Each structure stands twice: as structure tokens, then as C-alpha cells.
Structure 1
């Protein structure tokens, strides 16, 4: 299963959030990359963020972002370990 560019953009957007601080949100400015603006809008439509331009993670968004950050850590750690051996 491959991920579409749109899904990759949504994942990258969720990875911008600091899950350690639920009161820290993000703001996607109107002059940002169009794919980032669109990704934030889709995440809002899916109920993962509070505003079409970012805002804060919802409970579902926070859970998704935590899982994504964990997966990112596992994959990058595995890559680093394989480059050492």
C-alpha cells in the first residue's frame, strides 16, 4: 500500500505539532506551500485539527499525531542502526 502525496502531506502536517504540549498549536499562513494549506484543510475536515489553517489537535488528532511520531522515531532509529552495522 503506497501513500498518496496528499496523505503524505497530511502526515507531515501532523508531525509539525508538539504532542508534548497540547496547548501549542500551529498556524498555516495563506502564503505557505499550497499542499500544506490543503493538507491542513483536509485534516480539519476529518476532525483532527480545530481550524482549517491548523489550530490545535483534537483528541483524535492528538492520538494520530502521537502514533505518527512514534512510528517516525522507530523508523528513523532503525535506519540509523542499520547504517552503523
Structure 2
């Protein structure tokens, strides 16, 4: 199963959240942000993973998704073949 470009953009956005401080959110400015990032934020909001269509805070489900995304990225970056 291959990831779609939309899924990659969503995972990239989830990886930008600071898991050490859940009171720290993200603000995506549609006038200067990459259109793929803007669209990813809207999809994550529609799925209930973030609190605002332009970022905001992680919801409970979003926190779970961000933790999994960031853990996977850490594993991929530190594992040796």
C-alpha cells in the first residue's frame, strides 16, 4: 500500500505539532502557506484531528495520530538496515 500525496501532507503536518506542549498549536496562513499544507489542515479538521481548519490544536484523536506519526518518523530515522 502506497501513501498518497494527500496522506503524506497530512502526516507531515501532524509531525509539526509539539508533543511536549499540547497547549502549543499551529497556525497555517493560507495567503503564504503551501497550498498542500492548507488543504491537509482542512482535511485533518474535517476528520476531527485538529481544532481549526487552519491549524489550531490537536484533538484527542489528533494527539494519538501525531504521536504515532512522530514515533514512526523517529524509528525510520534511527533504524539501521
Fold match, TM over 0.5? yes
Query: Whose helix proportion is higher, 1 or 2?
Result: 1
Where 2:29 maps in the other structure, the secondary structure is coil
User: Which stretches of structure 1, 4 residues or more, deviate above 2 A after TM superposition?
Assistant: none
Q: Which has the higher contact order (CA 8 A, sep 6+)?
A: 2
Q: Deviations over 1:9-66 (max 9, x none)?
A: 0000000100111100000001200000000000000000000000000000001100
- Structure 1 spans left out of the alignment, 5+ residues: none
TM-score (normalised: structure 2): 0.95
Q: Highest CA radius of gyration, 1 or 2? A: 1
- Structure 2 spans left out of the alignment, 5+ residues: none
TM-score (normalised: structure 1): 0.91
> Is 1:25 aligned with 2:31?
no
Count of aligned pairs between the two proteins: 80
